[in-house]
Amino acid sequence: MSARANGTAPLHVVVIGGGVIGVCAASWLLREGFAVTIVEPGEIAGGASFGNAGCFNPSSVVPMSMPGNLRKVPGWLLDPLGPLSIRWGYLPQLAPWLGRFLKAAAPDRVAAQAKALGDLLRDSTGVYRPLVENAGARALVRKDGHLMVYPDRRAFEADALAWKLRSDNGIGYTVLEDDALRQQEPALSHDYRLGVFLPNNGHTINPNRFVAALAEAFLRDGGRIQRARALDFDVVDGRLKAVRTDQGPIPADRAVVAAGAFSRPLAHGLGDAIPLDTERGYHVVVKEPGLMPRAPVLDTVGKFVATPMEMGLRLAGTVEFAGLEAKPDWNRAKRLLALGARLFPQLATDAAGDRISVWMGFRPSMPDSLPVIGPASRTADVVYAFGHGHVGMAGGAQTGLLVADLVSGRRPRIALEPFSPKRF
Ligand SMILES: Cc1cc2nc3c(=O)[nH]c(=O)nc-3n(C[C@H](O)[C@H](O)[C@H](O)COP(=O)(O)OP(=O)(O)OC[C@H]3O[C@@H](n4cnc5c(N)ncnc54)[C@H](O)[C@@H]3O)c2cc1C
């Protein structure tokens, strides 16, 4: 199918959601000749895409649910600096998702999920390149690699399965110990004696400005952005007629659901019960940190990333299960500051004035760590692109290309079965 019906006006695609996924999908669709409108009730990149760790990591092929994780959960929950928290009142709602999450840890499933993530995240920075060049946003992107640090070799060896998954999926890395590690990252605490350097990972120095720059290029090239909240769809005889919004209906030939953690009710209206939940995450930005790592550093103990950004050092991570309504628990962000000081002893953690800022965002999380990319049940005119969990930045450009394949009726460039909305 071409972007034009019968050689006349181009088909109109409404993309629901102005985060990294919606903006990438809209940008590729526009390049293919479709007329494209992004529908977004808030700011572009104001959701999870605002405050993440900014990593474009092909190495993020390791699913969140891994064999042996269950044993670690009680310790994580009891540790005030632990990486995981659950608001107990939310547990009944979360239980079915958790059940699926635990099942996803079966070894054959883990290998299949890693392979699918490998396909999605391959050459993340390279896949973004045409969009970045078109937006004149090269200055916002770095390809400096990524360092994962462990207290010692024993801790590294305990992670053997994760490293096997990376090797099996073609991820190259170098193990650095003691002096070699110190040379790579002089600011690192001596409590970390082993690091793994991943040369093919990249990052953006400002995720919000990065996505906004792509969106500005989209507008400049003829795309439209409309302030509205999508509510539902007009579907007649299996064909999409309009996207209904709080500002009235928008006529549409095709639509893309890219509303991140808020996509579930939209899919429900199209006959799909998708087990999407949210892992809430936090960041703290230290504006004058007194040091800057050379590349993003992932602390495998504290399970957070310290990313050098243009506004300071961003410490981002933690997983909190509390749904979409509960207020943020800013102690989670303060915890990141304490962990940052453990990782970099010279870190200036003085919170006076506005030297420190905090943020919370909703990761759109699927229990098997794989996003949903595929057509809706009620009509193939609507394509889903949500549920990217921890890898939405890394997988944004490729997801946009896959959406363009589906909307154009082309064979998708990678196998989409693992991402099917019907896999549950
Ligand atoms: C602390 C933290 C660190 C992270 N670090 C990384 C990282 O280093 N690398 C990485 O790859 N990923 C990372 N992630 C994950 C990444 O941020 C997400 O996967 C990604 O931002 C999801 O993008 P999205 O476009 O699907 O969702 P969002 O950015 O949340 O965008 C969804 C948009 O949809 C809009 N919307 C909602 N409902 C409607 C509606 N009804 N109609 C219209 N619009 C609607 C929202 O307003 C929002 O703007 C991190 C996440 C967190 C929280």
Tell me the pLDDT tens digit for each residue of 353-385: 688 999 999 999 999 999 999 999 999 999 999
CA 178, CA 189: separation in Å to the nearest integer?
A: 11
Do 251 and 344 fall into the same domain?
A: no
Nearest CA, atom 37, ligand 1: 259
pLDDT of residue 5: 63
pLDDT of residue 409: 96
Write the CA distances from 135 to 56, 123, 251, 338, 393, integer angstroms.
Answer: 18, 19, 28, 37, 17
CA 334, CA 357: separation in Å to the nearest integer?
A: 10
Do 337 and 232 fall into the same domain?
A: no
pLDDT of residue 2: 62
| Residue 1, burial from CB neighbour count under 10 angstroms (0-12, 13-18, 19+) | exposed
Do 324 and 417 fall into the same domain?
A: no
Question: 188 is in which domain, residue-wise?
Answer: 58-105+143-202+276-364
CA 358, CA 351: separation in Å to the nearest integer?
A: 11
Give the distance (Å) from ligand 1 centre to CA of residue 237.
Answer: 33
Do 406 and 321 fall into the same domain?
A: no
Based on the structure, what is the number of domains in the chain? 2
Do 208 and 195 fall into the same domain?
A: no
What CATH number did the domain enclosing 227 receive?
Answer: 3.50.50.60
Ligand 1 pocket, CB under 6 A: 16-22, 39-42, 46-49, 52-55, 229-230, 258-260, 262, 281-283, 305, 316-317, 361, 363-364, 386, 388-394
pLDDT of residue 255: 98
Query: Which of these three, 364, 395, 414, is where a domain ends?
Result: 364
Query: Which of these three, 327, 345, 364, is where a domain ends?
Result: 364
- Where the chain has pLDDT below 70, the residues are 1-2, 4-7, 353
Do 29 and 134 fall into the same domain?
A: yes
Do 52 and 63 fall into the same domain?
A: no
Do 296 and 337 fall into the same domain?
A: yes
Do 326 and 294 fall into the same domain?
A: yes
pLDDT of residue 9: 87
Exposed e or buried b per residue across 167-190, where buried means at least 16 C-beta atoms within 10 angstroms of its C-beta: eebebebeebeeeebbebbebbbe
Give the distance (Å) from ligand 1 centre to CA of residue 278.
Answer: 10
What pLDDT, in 10s, does the model give residues 185-208? 999 999 999 999 999 999 999 999
Query: Which of these three, 349, 364, 379, is where a domain ends?
Result: 364
Do 170 and 186 fall into the same domain?
A: yes
pLDDT of residue 6: 62
What CATH number did the domain enclosing 338 receive?
Answer: 3.30.9.10
Grouping H, G, I as helix, E, B as strand and the rest as coil, residue 264 is helix
Query: Which ligand 1 atom minimizes the distance to the CA of 203?
Result: 8
Give the distance (Å) from ligand 1 centre to CA of residue 387.
Answer: 9
Nearest CA, atom 20, ligand 1: 392
Nearest CA, atom 15, ligand 1: 390
Tokens representing residue 186 in the block: 């002089």
Provide the sign of the torsion angle of the four alpha carbons 378, 383, 386, 391, taken in this order: positive
Using most ligand atoms within 8 A of CB, pick from 40, 61, 304 the residue to mutate for ligand 1: 40
pLDDT of residue 338: 92
25: nearest Cα among 368, 363, 408: 408
Do 198 and 289 fall into the same domain?
A: yes
Using most ligand atoms within 8 A of CB, pick from 16, 23, 49, 148 the residue to mutate for ligand 1: 49
Do 357 and 223 fall into the same domain?
A: no
